[in-house]
Structure 1
Amino acid sequence: MPPPPRRIPAARPVGSVTRGTTNPNRLRRMDRWIAATHGAALRRCADPVAVDLGYGAAPWTAVELLTRLRAVRPDTEVVGIEIDPSRVAAAEPYARQGLTFAHGGFEVPLPAGRRPVLIRAANVLRQYDEDQVGAVWDRLRSRLAPGGLLVEGTCDEIGRRHVWVALGPDGPRTVTFAARLATLSRPSDLAERLPKALIHRNVPGEPVHSFLADFDRAWAAAAPFAPLGARQRWIRAVRSLADSGWPVTDNPTRWRQGEVTVRWAALAPGRRG
């Protein structure tokens, strides 16, 4: 009798287990930005699948991402991916048409032939060393569909302050700073939420430090607008940044949301803004 076929073990997921901290609506600012800026690509793509990578101990962020992206394209599918199998099992009761959960990591395990038009990786790389970030970015970008987007960043526990990098298959493109403006005493308060690629670069001589220092100065100069509300003061400060030469890529429609987006090249480590 021939021996039974040898079982080939499944490949080990790439990455490490995160703390798993999550809360409902934690990623609303990032989701809102994705829907506004990447919505056109989502509408025209052939296979509207998005990945919520490292969603954490509870699946709230994946559930919310599906709802927000389906407002842009109703047949969007979301796959929540977690490296901790117990978290995948805990999420299964929330699965439904268009929302599934899978065990995996930075290899982004999807069925053969499928590539995501979006990978969102929030609060995933904070525990990694800075010199590991580039390789993770490259691996995730390689999984994107043509025209796809990787959004990687960090926020506080309830999503009031958030900074993220947007990357296409070609590499990093922009950095977005977003906040509930009533919580800020000055824009550099967002420094504590810089993504791993930038957080250790907030020192004199680095572009991100220069940007935040200029933003604080613009915020101080816009103090006469404070009686009109933090939103008007923010808009005035961002306009001043753009006028002074920082490559702001968005417009007052986004600024009113408590956001500002700047070209990555101006903030990239080791380069001058």
Structure 2
Amino acid sequence: MTRGTTNPNRLRRMDRWIAAAHAAELRRSPDPVAVDLGYGAAPWTAVELLGRLRRVRPDARVVGVEIDPARVAAAQPYARDGLTFVHGGFEVPLPGGHRPLLIRAANVLRQYDESEVHAVWARLRTRLAPGGLLVEGTCDEIGRRHVWVALGPEGPRTVTFATRLGSLERPSDLAERLPKALIHRNVPGEPVHAFLTAFDRAWAAAAPLSALGARQRWIRAVRDLREAGWPVLDGPARWRQGEITLAWDAVAPAAGR
């Protein structure tokens, strides 16, 4: 069971990215079901996820899954058309045997050992519908800093770093929010450490743009990273949101490459 800390709007950065990156699959799916896995002591994140997905797919449905029966009972007053809450864990027990198009697991795996992460990822991926997406990551208490991994049925695809730019001193500040698969790998010799080091250097080089605001400085730093050969997969529209998405292979732990 997670600590359960859940603040409204905590997962807004992740949700907005999901709604943009997974929009095509949401629109064409015959069964647009999403799971908020381990939603915590209050159901705010599931309620918010439904609202954000329905801007893309008006008939999207969300199922909140919690391992603590008391939390499931407490969430029932918030259930409504398109939003239900069930007791369960990594088996993702959806009513009617549905397989979800999306599983979002935020701040769930931080309490597990790194050695357990890939087994959990594999188990959750088997629950996905064709074209489905698993998004697993970590954020701070109010959602200013967030890092998540996106996985398809075949395995990890991308990693996204997202932040409220006004709160950022340097990009490596995001290291404290790396997901469990990466947080112990931020050491010399590991790809994620090399990336954050390069990002800090690009950020420092873009310092003259600070006069135009942190957003312009971030955009320049990300562009410089891409020009230096880092596999940046998104573009300025996402960079302006304080995001950067890379191919997973660029930061995957050295032992697992």
Which residue in the other structure is 1:216 paired with?
Answer: 200
Which residue in the other structure is 2:157 paired with?
Answer: 173
Q: CA deviation at 1:111?
A: 2.5
Contact 1:162 1:190 in 2 (8 A): yes
The C-alpha deviation readout for 1:62-99, integer Å capped at 9, x for no partner, is 00000000000000000000000000000000000000
Please point out which of 63, 75, 78 is paired with 1:91. 75
Q: Within 5 A, what are the aligned runs for 1:123-272?
A: 123-270=107-254
Structure with more of its chain in helix, by fraction = 2
Task: For 1:272 and 1:157, locate their aligned partners in 2 and report how far apart those are by CA, in whole Å.
Answer: 30
Structure 1 gaps, min length 5: 1-16
Q: Within 5 A, what are the aligned runs for 1:7-18?
A: 17-18=1-2
Which residue in the other structure is 2:33 paired with?
Answer: 49
Contact 1:193 1:199 in 2 (8 A): yes
The C-alpha deviation readout for 1:144-188, integer Å capped at 9, x for no partner, is 000000000000000000000000001000000000001110000
Structure 2 gaps, min length 5: none
Which residue in the other structure is 2:61 paired with?
Answer: 77
Q: Moved runs in structure 1, 4+ residues, more than 2 A?
A: none
Q: CA deviation at 1:113?
A: 3.7
Task: For 1:266 and 1:179, locate their aligned partners in 2 and report how far apart those are by CA, in whole Å.
Answer: 20
Corresponding position: 1:111 with 2:95? yes
Q: Secondary structure at the match of 1:56?
A: coil
Task: For 1:251 and 1:213, locate their aligned partners in 2 and report how far apart those are by CA, in whole Å.
Answer: 21
Identity, in percent, stands at 81
Task: For 1:233 and 1:87, locate their aligned partners in 2 and report how far apart those are by CA, in whole Å.
Answer: 43
Normalising by structure 1, we get a TM-score of 0.93
Q: Secondary structure at the match of 2:42?
A: coil
Task: For 2:85 and 2:59, locate their aligned partners in 1 and report how far apart those are by CA, in whole Å.
Answer: 17
Task: For 1:136 and 1:118, locate their aligned partners in 2 and report how far apart those are by CA, in whole Å.
Answer: 15
Distance 1:112 1:272, change over 3 A: closer
Root mean square deviation, CA, Å: 1.1
Corresponding position: 1:120 with 2:104? yes
Q: CA deviation at 1:114?
A: 1.1
Normalising by structure 2, we get a TM-score of 0.99
Which residue in the other structure is 1:32 paired with?
Answer: 16
Aligned residues: 257
Task: For 1:43 and 1:118, locate their aligned partners in 2 and report how far apart those are by CA, in whole Å.
Answer: 13
Task: For 1:25 and 1:272, locate their aligned partners in 2 and report how far apart those are by CA, in whole Å.
Answer: 34
- The one-letter code sitting in structure 2 at the alignment partner of 1:236 is R
Contact 1:107 1:139 in 2 (8 A): yes
Which residue in the other structure is 1:4 paired with?
Answer: none
- The one-letter code sitting in structure 2 at the alignment partner of 1:45 is S
Contact 1:207 1:271 in 2 (8 A): no
